[in-house]
């Protein structure tokens, strides 16, 4: 090899001290349990594209799991009146969202014909039954008891979703923090029925407006609000990319989960987790 070729200087085999005996020590694969993860892809058809479809879903589910881990930890910190360290977690959630939005580009290399080659094998299974997604929607505040129904066959999972439905959302925790900081939040808001989605409330709007009108005084609340807006913004972009990718692949067909498909996914775009944070922008 030519002396000037950079690769000349990279010779992995020449590296001394590389560990090679894992008969007693924990290896990379053992730590990550790759034997489970990398053997969990079982296409049901001979279609070349089905592996892409499975990996895309599984990778997204892993990222959703991490998102929930971060959101829950952030909620704990906000409840303990420590919003500052929660910001790091919420920022991480946004970066994960950027990652899963980007991954639609990989899936959209699949054409309608590719998808139809294995779609029948999916039966009635659909993202509607993604409990990872439902848990994150519930944690952020988009709640509906009816959406637990596809998980009732698994009592443990249904109980976990029930518990999530009865616990404050990230936004409930943010509003309670506003109340503890002395903002006049309507008591009905603080004692609301947690099982329902948040709608909107004038006392919450007034409180956030005050925060945005004097950002220096309320800097951490202002930062919290902007972190929430980031999450909502990215969430909508994920929903939009999902809807558009679905339209590109199945057009206006019904979904395997039984919904109207793209029409349903378009309606989901109208939901806002943190409506006052959007409304205040018009009335500042
Ligand atoms: C070919 C690719 C895909 C198609 C054609 C598709 C289609 C659909 C359709 C039509 C729905 C509405 C429910 C139904 O009737 O099934 C839906 C929901 C859903 N999909 Fe997909 N999807 C695709 C890929 C993905 C991927 C990669 C994910 C990532 C995990 C995903 C997650 C979800 C979730 C979470 C829902 C529920 C949304 C909600 O309740 O608002 N989908 N999908």
Dist CA 128 CA 41 (whole Å): 20
150: pLDDT confidence band, cut at 50, 70 and 90?
very high
Dist CA 185 CA 204 (whole Å): 6
Distance 128 CA to ligand 1 centre (A): 7
Whether the predicted pLDDT of 165 surpasses 60: yes
Buried b (16+ CB within 10 A) or exposed e, 211-228: bbeeeeebeebbbbbebb
178: pLDDT confidence band, cut at 50, 70 and 90?
very high
Whether the predicted pLDDT of 101 surpasses 60: yes
Tokens read off for 172: 């409930």
Q: pLDDT tens-digit profile of 45-97?
A: 999 999 999 999 999 999 999 999 999 999 999 999 999 999 999 999 999 99
Index of the ligand 1 atom closest to the CA of residue 259: 15
Q: What is the CB < 6 Å shell around ligand 1?
A: 56-57, 60, 107, 115, 126-128, 130, 133, 242, 246, 249-250, 255-259, 261, 264-265, 268
More confident residue, 5 or 187: 187
Q: pLDDT tens-digit profile of 102-113?
A: 999 999 999 999
- Residue 272 region, left (φ>0) first, then alpha (ψ -120 to 50), else beta? beta
Dist CA 176 CA 196 (whole Å): 17
Which of 1.10.287.130, 3.40.50.10860, 1.20.58.480, 1.10.1740.110 is the CATH number of 47-171+183-253+260-283? 1.20.58.480
Nearest CA to ligand 1 atom 12: 261
Distance 22 CA to ligand 1 centre (A): 41
pLDDT at position 4 is: 61
Task: Assess contact for 272 and 232: CB atoms under 8 A.
Answer: yes
More confident residue, 248 or 283: 248
pLDDT at position 67 is: 98
Mean pLDDT of the residues in the chain: 95
Nearest CA to ligand 1 atom 29: 57
Q: pLDDT tens-digit profile of 188-237?
A: 999 999 999 999 999 999 999 999 999 999 999 999 999 999 999 999 99
Nearest CA to ligand 1 atom 34: 127
Strands annotated E in the chain: none
Distance 146 CA to ligand 1 centre (A): 17
Q: Give the CA angle between residues 236, 60, 45 to the nearest 5°.
A: 120
Whether the predicted pLDDT of 3 surpasses 60: no
Tokens read off for 229: 């807006």
Nearest CA to ligand 1 atom 35: 127
Distance 245 CA to ligand 1 centre (A): 10
What count of other Cβ atoms lies within 10 Å of the Cβ of residue 24?
A: 5
Distance 240 CA to ligand 1 centre (A): 11
Q: pLDDT tens-digit profile of 253-265?
A: 999 999 999 999 9
Distance 183 CA to ligand 1 centre (A): 40
Tokens read off for 218: 């309320």
- Parse the chain into domains and list their residue ranges: 47-171+183-253+260-283
């Amino acid at each position: 090899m030519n002396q000037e070729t950079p690769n000349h200087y990279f010779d992995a085999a020449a590296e001394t001290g590389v560990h090679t005996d894992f008969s007693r020590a924990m290896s990379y694969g053992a730590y990550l349990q790759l034997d489970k993860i990398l053997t969990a892809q079982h296409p049901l058809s001979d279609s070349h594209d089905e592996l892409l479809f499975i990996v895309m879903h599984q990778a997204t589910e892993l990222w959703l799991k991490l998102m929930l881990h971060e959101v829950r930890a952030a909620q704990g910190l906000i409840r303990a009146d420590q919003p500052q360290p929660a910001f790091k977690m919420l920022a991480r959630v946004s970066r994960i969202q950027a990652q899963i939005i980007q991954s639609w580009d990989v899936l959209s290399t699949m054409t309608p014909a590719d998808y139809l080659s294995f779609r029948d094998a999916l039966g009635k299974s659909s993202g509607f039954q993604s409990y990872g997604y439902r848990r994150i929607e519930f944690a952020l505040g988009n709640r509906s008891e009816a959406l637990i129904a596809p998980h009732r066959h698994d009592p443990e999972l249904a109980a976990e979703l029930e518990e999530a439905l009865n616990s404050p959302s990230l936004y409930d925790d943010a509003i309670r923090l506003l109340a503890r900081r002395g903002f006049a939040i309507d008591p009905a808001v603080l004692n609301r029925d947690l099982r329902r989605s948040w709608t909107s409330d004038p006392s919450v709007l007034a409180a956030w407006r005050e925060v945005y009108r004097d950002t220096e005084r309320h800097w951490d609340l202002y930062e919290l609000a902007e972190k929430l807006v980031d999450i909502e913004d990215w969430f909508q972009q994920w929903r939009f990319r999902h809807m558009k990718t679905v339209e590109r692949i199945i057009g206006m067909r019904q979904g395997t989960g039984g919904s109207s498909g793209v029409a349903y996914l378009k309606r989901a775009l109208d939901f806002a987790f943190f409506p006052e944070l959007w409304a205040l922008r018009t009335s500042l």
